Amino acid sequence: MQFFGGSEISPSPPTPTVSGNNAHMMYVFNRNGVCLLYREWNRPLHTLNAQQDHKLMFGLLFSLKSLTAKMDPTSAERGNLGVPQLPGQGCSFHSFRTNTYKLSFMESPSGIKIILITHPKTGDLRESLKYIYNLYVEYVMKNPLYTPGTPIRSDLFNTTLDQYVRSIA
Amino acid sequence: MAAICSLYIINKSGGLIYYKDYGSGGRMDTNDSLRVASLWHSMHAISQQLSPTTGCYGIELLEADTFDLHCFQSLTGTKFFVVCEPGTQQMESLLKVIYELYTDYVLKNPFYEMEMPIRCELFDINLSQVVQKDRVVLLGR
């Protein structure tokens, strides 16, 4: 299965769906649930401390993944609820919306999870998340000094990401 | 194929009080539907905690590749959610109509005990009529 095409960054990023800066925050988790990156642009409300917040977010997505696999009306064969899913397996869930935010989610075959939280009126961000994944591959994974599984401390990645997120949302 | 796959109603503490299947890939067994319902209840609550701004009332629409899930929460905490084909429109209004039926035929039924599973014939009849009508409208487009 070809997942995201080549590793080259596509020359033109996907076109923005809504203009104006309305991205709230972004998380990147690896397959073990370690938060590799947390960026925050506009978040007035903090209900928990940072570590608890990351854990809750990872837990929510973990459970939503098995919930969506279980609820899938098109397939008669379903996994058992609560059994951990393999990375990239049966993950058909890509976004949810509440009255105050929209969460878009992408998981790579290697289990990297990218979560972007934006304004509820934002359109489909699947292509944008793929582009962010490409940025991650280019600026983080191809960096020889980066040890996989550690938090990302790359200024180049952060500035490019900020720029791109500002342009999409 | 039916646009609506299934309907769930859960009470304010997360217990499943009504489940109806409209032809999806095999009906879920009772245990699984109960677990899915209470899992949805907690996901809904967690999503409120993670909101970047105040005044969040939980997930309204969940989108997956093969289905959409629309959820409506009444003021008393009863949640109604339907699983439907991706991109189905006007599910919010359908949920409101179902809520109206619930208030008319379930809550006004003197034999109905609050927070208990719904066993009301009139509710069943009217619900299937509404869903049928909705299907006809969708087919007519």
Task: Print the domain residue range for A105.
Answer: 23-71+84-168
Q: A158: which 2 tokens?
A: 């952060």
**Domain B4-140: CATH class, spelled out:** alpha beta
Give CA–CA dist A107/A84, Å, rounded: 15
Count of CB pairs separated by less than 8 Å, A with B: 115
- Which pTM does this prediction carry? 0.85
The DSSP H or E segment spanning B33 is helix B30-49
> Ramachandran region of residue A52, left (φ > 0), alpha (ψ -120 to 50) or beta?
alpha
CB contact (8 A) between residue B52 and residue A97: no
Residue A3 inside a domain? The answer is no
Nearest to A93 by CA among A128, A61, A117: A61
Residue-wise pLDDT tens digits, B17-38: 999 988 766 678 888 899 999 9
Number of domains in chain A: 1
Q: B70: which 2 tokens?
A: 């629309």
Please tell me which of the candidates A24, A47, A94 has its beta carbon nearest to residue B64. A94
Residue A117 inside a domain? The answer is yes
ipTM > 0.85, yes or no: yes
Q: What 3 state SS string does B88-124 have?
A: CCCHHHHHHHHHHHHHHHHHCCCCCCCCCCCCCHHHH
Q: Which residues of B touch A56 (CB under 8 A)?
A: 46, 49-50
Give CA–CA dist A138/A9, Å, rounded: 8
CB contact (8 A) between residue A59 and residue B46: yes
* Pairing between β-strand B59-64 and β-strand A93-98 as defined by DSSP bridges: antiparallel
Residue A33 inside a domain? The answer is yes
Q: What is the largest CA-CA distance in chain A?
A: 47
Indicate the domain borders of chain B: 4-140
CATH number assigned to the domain comprising residue A117: 3.30.450.70
Residue-wise pLDDT tens digits, A52-76: 999 999 999 989 988 888 888 777 6
Residue-wise pLDDT tens digits, B80-131: 999 998 988 889 999 999 999 999 999 999 999 999 999 999 999 999 999 8
CB contact (8 A) between residue A99 and residue B56: yes
Q: B119: which 2 tokens?
A: 């066993």
Residue A100 inside a domain? The answer is yes
Residue A127 inside a domain? The answer is yes
